[in-house]
């Protein structure tokens, strides 16, 4: 990967679960309630944490498969309905905003950068969650796991959000926490920063092909500012 000339950054896309918000406490509560209603043992937060990132249907499938083999279609459908019901009841109740998120969002907005949130979470949960946690007003657009036929790591959600924000992929930065974010951004030709505290299905974030690892959203905003102000390193050329 070659170092690029500095291109102006016109928009920033940000992942939700594991980047903006620690949603595992509520996801695990819903998953365990679903499992217990089916006569299965609860898994707990740390096990469920490894299943987060590819959307609720994948999370439910992996919870069912844990210790019980691959579930059939009817079992998955019943479990998914139960999970959605339980998650709707607890969504946001124990979810917390990660340190540095508000500061980072304010700093990015102060630079005049339009922000978009891109998540694999269904809109029925993502939109009210952002509002409940006081984050909705920072984002000009939201793309959820059910907005398009494709979800991350497919690049389509990121490209859709670029169009909504009026930005070209080459002038956009994505901030996320997982391989799904990196693969989607690379496929879209978008630069990508990763935070180390989120959900990456047990993988070390340092193994990912991101442009940089930043401690939080506040540090991401500072990294972008230094690129724009020519006081820091340029991003690598997106492939």
Give catalytic residues, as residue numbers.
Answer: 15
- Give the long-range contacts of residues 143-150, CB within 8 A, separation 24 or more: 143/116, 143/117, 143/118, 143/119, 144/119, 144/120, 145/55, 145/56, 145/119, 145/120, 145/121, 146/122, 147/123
| DSSP-assigned beta bridge partners for residue 191 | 173
SS3 state of residue 116: strand
SS3 state of residue 183: helix
SS3 state of residue 76: helix
């Amino acid at each position: 990967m070659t170092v690029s000339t500095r291109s102006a950054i016109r928009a920033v896309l940000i992942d939700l679960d594991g980047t903006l918000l620690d949603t595992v406490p509520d996801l695990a509560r819903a998953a365990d309630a679903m499992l217990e209603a089916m006569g299965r043992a609860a898994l707990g937060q740390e096990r469920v944490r490894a299943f987060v990132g590819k959307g609720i249907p994948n999370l439910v499938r992996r919870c069912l498969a844990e210790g019980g083999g691959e579930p059939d279609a009817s079992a998955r459908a019943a479990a998914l309905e139960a999970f959605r019901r339980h998650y709707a009841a607890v969504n946001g109740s124990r979810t917390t905003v990660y340190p540095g998120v508000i500061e980072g969002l304010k700093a990015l907005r102060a630079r005049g950068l339009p922000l978009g949130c891109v998540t694999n979470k269904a809109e029925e949960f993502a939109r009210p969650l952002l509002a409940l946690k006081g984050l909705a007003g920072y984002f000009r657009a939201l793309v959820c796991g059910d907005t398009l036929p494709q979800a991350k790591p497919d690049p389509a959600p990121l490209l859709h959000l670029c169009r909504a924000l009026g930005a070209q992929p080459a002038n956009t930065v994505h901030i996320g926490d997982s391989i799904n974010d990196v693969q989607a951004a690379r496929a879209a030709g978008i630069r990508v920063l990763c935070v180390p505290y989120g959900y990456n299905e047990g993988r070390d974030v340092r193994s990912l092909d991101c442009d940089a690892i930043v401690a939080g959203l506040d540090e991401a905003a500072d990294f972008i500012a230094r690129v724009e102000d020519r006081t820091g390193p340029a991003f690598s050329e997106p492939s």
